[in-house]
Structures are given as C-alpha cells and as structure tokens.
Amino acid sequence: MDSSLYKDTTVSRGFTYHYFHSPAAPGQLTLLFIHGFPSSSHDWRRQVAYFRPKGYGVLVPDIIGAGGTSKPDSADAFRFSLIARDLVDVLDAEGLQTVVGIGHDWGSVVLSRLANLYSERFHAFAWLALSYVPPTWQTSGLANADAKNTQFVYWEYLSRDTAYVMCEQNLDSFLHLTYPETPDHWYESLSPPGKTQAWIESDRRPGLPEWLSQEEYDVARETLAKAGLKSALNYYKAMVNGVNTQDDESIPEEAHKIQKPALFIASARDSVCTAAGGKTVMAQYAPHATIIELNVGHWPHLEETGRVNLELDKWLDTLNLREL
C-alpha cells in the first residue's frame, strides 16, 4: 500500500488515527475496511490492490491499539461504541458522508456497532469470517453466557496482564498461531483450555500457510513488533471484564436489526468465528443478507483473495449506488 496515501487525524476523544485513503473516482463508492486482531491496515492490501484501480475509494484505518494509531493502556478505551465514534470522526475528517463498511474479526464487531449507532452513514455492510454481532451477542448463537464453555476460552489467557510479555518474547510463535499453517491448528491449539499458552510458551513455529508469503509475513511481523501487543490485547480484557455491557444495553432494540443491504462471507474451517453461528445470527438479524460460505479458515480475504474480491465486487454491483 502506497505510504504516501497514509494520513493522521485526531478524533474527538483525543486519540490519533493513522489511515490509508485513496479518494473515489466520480460516481464511485468509498469502501471502509476495518481490520481485527492482531492486524493492521496492511491486512487489507490485496483488497486495496483490487478495488482501487476500479475507481472505488478506499479508506483503511489502523484501528486503536494497532499500527500507527494511538495505543491506550485502558480497556475502557476499547469500548466498541467509542471506536465506532472514532471511525465516524475519521469519515468526517475526509468529508465522507456515506460509505460501504467491510469488517473482519474485531473489525466485524466495530462494524456492527457502526450499524447500530450510525447506520445513516452507510450504504451497506459486509462481514468476513465473523458475522454481524448484535448487542445481545452472548445469547445470539455466537456464544453462550459462560465464555469458558465456548470456543472463546483462549480469551482468558490473552486478557491476563502479563500475556503481552510472553507473546512479544515469542512473537513468531504467536504469529504462527494467529496465521496458522492449517486451520486445524486452531481446533487443536487455540480453543482448548490451556493450549494457547502452551503453544506460545513452547515457542512453537510450524511454518507459514501457503497463502502468506514470507515478504508479507515480514511486514506483518515488523508492524506488530513496532506497535507491541500490550494495548491491542485490551480487546480481550474489555470483553472478559464486561466493559461493553452498559453501552450495548443502551442501544434501542429497534436498532439491533440490520436494515441496509448486507453480505456475510462465512469461513467453513474457522473454529472460533464459526460459519454455523454466523449464519444463525444473520438469519435472525439480517435475513435479507447475501451469504457466501468458503472452505477456508479465519482469513478469507487472504486465503481466498480472488474469490473474496470477486464476491465483494459482485455484491457491490447489486447495490446500484455508483451514481450517488
């Protein structure tokens, strides 16, 4: 991604956001790509390379805690409603009134809160791997009330105050688990109790997946090494400690359902953000959504880049909004 197209802006709560922005050609839509953990805007590089030459505007921020954006220590700063407000401030800084939102991983949750709180700023929403996450997400089919009995058990380890130290000391091991050589590693070594800690503390490094080149890995590693993990792990602290509960409960019930066009690209081999759970949620909250299921793990936009780009492009064509 062209470094000359990165900018910085200060949002209303005082944090600096670092973001890539390439303006749209006349009559074209702008796409807002929201990454997850432990990513940065760089994770959307293949989508930028595809959509930018087609004339789409692309806005790709480093989300709070990542890349060149501010890295607060407080879990309270990672409330999804506040991050959503931050991104609206970024849209305002670029004079963008309405965009198409595309999210992955924690970025999918941020996009969900944008849909709940700022729907008027969006033409449509697309979720990858992790579906729309309603404010009532723990009873929605994505997870049950006791996180220790779900695929999210590894949150307990990542939310520990000292987790970042071990993860940074064994950064390659951490990244080999994050971007697994095979999705089976997540079934075996991420979700089962104690397995994430065992993987990282044993400095296990089985190798890179075929869909991630050494050059791409090196950029991701360098970006994460520079940013550190202490701040970004607050996503997990915030969830484990219920920091978002009050904000979520304040969202009116009528705002829980998605009224705008929607797309969900599900990952059949993702053991955490399961395709079945995501499709259940979409059926309840966005029954009109287009759903595509791919035989991939957690990173569809990297594992099946060509297919994901094509499906996104086809879906965007159905919106018939290019002349707005």
Q: Is the residue at 262 inside a domain?
A: yes
What domain range includes position 20?
3-319
Q: Is the residue at 210 inside a domain?
A: yes
Tokens of 254: 């009528």
Q: Is the residue at 33 inside a domain?
A: yes
Domain count, the chain: 1
Q: What is the average per-residue pLDDT within 94-123?
A: 97
Q: Is the residue at 208 inside a domain?
A: yes
Q: Is the residue at 172 inside a domain?
A: yes
Phi and psi angles of residue 210, each rounded to the nearest 5 degrees, phi first: -65, -20
Tokens of 197: 């800690």
Q: The domain that contains 44 carries what CATH number?
A: 3.40.50.1820
Q: What is the average per-residue pLDDT within 223-251?
A: 92
**What are the pLDDT digits (tens) for 266-292?**
999 999 999 999 999 999 999 999 999
Number of helical (H) and strand (E) elements in the chain, helices listed first: 14, 8
Q: What is the average per-residue pLDDT within 36-58?
A: 96
Q: Is the residue at 324 inside a domain?
A: no
**What are the pLDDT digits (tens) for 73-86?**
999 999 999 999 99
Q: Is the residue at 200 inside a domain?
A: yes
> What distance, in Å, lies between the first and last C-alpha atoms of the chain?
27
pLDDT band at 194 (very low <50, low <70, confident <90, very high): confident
Residue 143 scores a pLDDT above 50 = no
Q: The pTM is what?
A: 0.94
